Amino acid sequence: MQLTSIEQDMLTGKHGPATKKAMEILAALGAIYGAEHMVPVTSVQIAGVSYDNLGEAGLSFLSEMADGGGKARVLTTLNPAGMDIENWQALGISPEFAEGQFRVIEAFARMGVVTSCTCTPYLSGNVPHYGEHIAWAESSAVCYANSVIGARTNREGGPSALAAALTGCTPAYGYHLDENRLPRVSVDVRATVSSNDAFGALGKAIGQKLEVAGEKPLVTITGIARASVDNLKSFCASIATYGGAAMFHMAGITPEAAQVAPPERIMIIADEDIAAAHASMNDASSDDVDFVSLGCPHLSIGEIARIAELLKGKRVKKEFWITTARPTRQIADRMGYTAIIEASGAKFAADTCCVVAPIKGRFRALATDSAKACYYAYSKNKFKTVLKPFDDVIAEALR
Ligand code: F3S
């Protein structure tokens, strides 16, 4: 692999032990994937932030990198933590867990990482532009960045994203290269898809059809008339979770779709495929639901405004988490949405989400509009799930 002189200096330790370690990680990755050189990145998103996932082993790696003088060279933001940093007691988080989580946040902060704790960095100030090379490690955000924005990133792991932050570069392979951004299969959607849960079910339906075919090619999706940012963040999370996709094209909606001819090989998704995918994420009844959560991926301010509208003057009867980024919560405070929502008994869970918080086994069944949340509610937290449209999820909390 061809390294520039500064990259070579990083590798030999001239920029300190943490930068050396970071460049070793990237050089090894580059060798594995046959990269010929590094590419400078302008933005990094680091995942693997919850103390629930990291434990002491992960924390000790981060502390070692911070002690070794590691400093982010480009704008670097963080995925959700395992708790609301300011309001963790209200979510039933133990002081022991909080102490570990604070040490994680502190290690990242020492490295100059912006401790934003959100999986929608593109709604909170970390917004690359079209064609920019970045290194992001959150599967839903990676898919959003590549597909919706047209930025270029591989699906980084926590260590490789941190390594990119500390060096300002990443190996040039995968989605950084034009030839790997070409679609192989057309997916024609012959169904009406308009709500977040339906877009989530569409992502699962596509992922499952590809899995049956034993492949994970990049797809061009046709037949979607319109999709809001909220719909797209839901879809990206779902197709990344169920289809392992880091990118797709959507005709008339994503920027690179117009530049590539739709492949001749066509896969059809009909209403019944979406209905089957939707039904597969409903294995509980309303009577089972004792936990309601919206915000996977993190809620936009428009979605929070809608929650406030529907909860105004009412009381929720179930544990209801509103998961979002801290800056979005602050706008909600200013607009009076927070006061309305909290008066209803619902709880803000900023900085975190119902998947990365340590709540395994705490509830029986989750109601949500997120296909991704359904996947992890079942596989990680052992909850049953009810997938519904956004407004119906709120009605579920009031039942
Ligand atoms: Fe974000 Fe948590 Fe969902 S990190 S995409 S809200 S699983």
Residue range 112-121, pLDDT digits in tens: 999 999 999 9
Ramachandran category for residue 223: left, alpha or beta (phi over 0 → left; psi -120 to 50 → alpha): left
pLDDT value for 262:
85
Mean pLDDT along residues 324-351: 98
Q: Is residue 285 part of a domain?
A: no
Residue identifier of the C-alpha nearest atom 3 of ligand 1: 296
Which of 140, 294, 322 to mutate to test ligand 1, by most ligand atoms within 8 A of the CB atom?
140
Q: What is the mean pLDDT of the chain?
A: 97
Residues 162 and 56 in one domain: yes
Task: Indicate whether 23 and 153 sit together in one domain.
Answer: yes
Q: Does 347 share its domain with 306?
A: yes
Do 126 and 13 fall into the same domain?
yes
Residue 286 maps to a domain: no
Cβ neighbours of residue 313 closer than 8 Å, sequence gap 6 or more: none
Average pLDDT over residues 202-229: 92
Report yes or no: 91 and 83 within 8 Å, Cβ to Cβ. Answer: yes
328 lines ligand 1 (CB under 6 A): no
Residue finishing a domain among 240, 257, 280: 280
- Quote the pLDDT of residue 337: 98
Task: Verify whether ligand 1 is closer than 6 Å to residue 297 (CB atom).
Answer: yes
In a domain, 111, yes or no: yes
Q: What DSSP element (H or E) covers 365?
A: strand 365-368
Local confidence band at 369 (pLDDT 50, 70, 90 cut-offs):
very high
Q: Whose CA is nearest to atom 7 of ligand 1?
A: 355
| CB of 355 shorter than 6 A to ligand 1 | yes
- How many structural domains comprise the chain? 3
**Residues 170 and 186 both lie in one domain:** no
Mean pLDDT of 370-385: 96
Lowest mean pLDDT segment, chosen from 75-79, 140-144, 214-218, 294-298: 214-218
The answer, yes or no, to whether residue 214 has pLDDT greater than 80, is no
210: CATH: 3.40.50.11100
Q: What six digits make up the tokens of 189?
A: 């959607």
- Using pLDDT thresholds of 50, 70 and 90, give the confidence band for residue 215: confident
373 domain-assigned: yes
Structural domain contains residue 80: yes
Clarify whether residues 313 and 264 are in a common domain: no
Say yes or no: CB of residue 298 within 6 Å of ligand 1.
yes
Residue 312 has pLDDT above 80, yes or no: yes
Q: Render pLDDT for 245-278 as a digit per residue (tens, 0 to 9).
A: 999 999 999 999 999 888 999 999 999 999 999 9
Domain that holds residue 232: 182-280
Ligand 1 centre to CA of 142 (Å) is: 12
- The reply to whether 30 falls in a domain is yes
Pair (239, 334) in one structural domain: no
Query: Could you tell me if 119 and 136 lie in one domain?
Result: yes
Residue with CA nearest ligand 1 atom 2? 353
- CA 45 to ligand 1 centroid distance, Å: 13
Distance CA 85, CA 54 (A): 17
Contact 79 CB / ligand 1 (< 6 Å): yes
Given 221, 254, 280, the domain boundary residue is 280
Binned at pLDDT 50, 70 and 90, residue 213 comes out as confident
pLDDT at residue 211, as a whole number: 82
| CA of residue 15 to ligand 1 center, whole Å | 34
Classify 46 as helix, strand or coil. strand
In percent, how much of the chain has pLDDT > 70?
100
Pocket test for ligand 1, best of 46, 139, 356 (most atoms within 8 A of CB): 356
Class of residue 69 by CB neighbours under 10 A (exposed 0-12, middle 13-18, buried 19+): middle
Q: Model-level pTM greater than 0.85?
A: yes
CATH number of the domain to which 52 belongs: 3.30.499.10
Rounded-to-integer distance, Cα 45 and Cα 68, Å? 21
Residues 14 and 217: their CA atoms lie apart, in Å, by: 41
Would you list the DSSP string of 96-158?
HHHHHHHHHHHHHHHTT-B----S-GGGTT----TT-B-EE--HHHHHHIIIII--B--B--H
Ligand 1 pocket, residue 166 CB under 6 Å? no
**What is the residue with the minimal CA distance to atom 5 of ligand 1?**
297
Residue of the nearest CA to atom 1 in ligand 1? 297
Q: Is the pLDDT of residue 303 over 90?
A: yes
Instruction: Render pLDDT for 28-79 as a digit per residue (tens, 0 to 9).
Output: 999 999 999 999 999 999 999 999 999 999 999 999 999 999 999 999 999 9
Residue 260 sits in the same domain as residue 303:
no
Look up residue 257 and give its amino acid: A
**343 falls in which pLDDT band (50, 70, 90)?**
very high
Q: Cis peptide leading into 40, omega within 30 of 0? A: no
In this structure, the answer to whether residues 26 and 55 fall within a common structural domain is yes
Looking at residue 272, its pLDDT comes to 97
Tell me the H-state helices in the chain: 5-11, 17-33, 51-67, 95-110, 139-144, 158-167, 196-212, 229-243, 271-280, 301-311, 326-335, 337-343, 371-379, 390-398
**Domain end point (choices 236, 254, 280):** 280
The count of other CB atoms within 10 Å of the CB of residue 12 is: 9
Ligand 1 midpoint to CA 106 (Å):
21
Is residue 199, in this structure, part of any structural domain at all? yes
For residues 317 and 271, membership in a common domain is answered with no
Counting ligand 1 atoms within 8 A of each CB, the residue from 372, 374, 380 with the most, and so the one to mutate, is 372
Which atom, in ligand 1's list, is nearest to the CA of 80? 4
How crowded is residue 1: how many other Cβ atoms within 10 Å of its Cβ? 16
Asked if residue 166 and residue 33 are part of one domain, the reply reads yes
Residue 137 falls within a domain, yes or no? yes
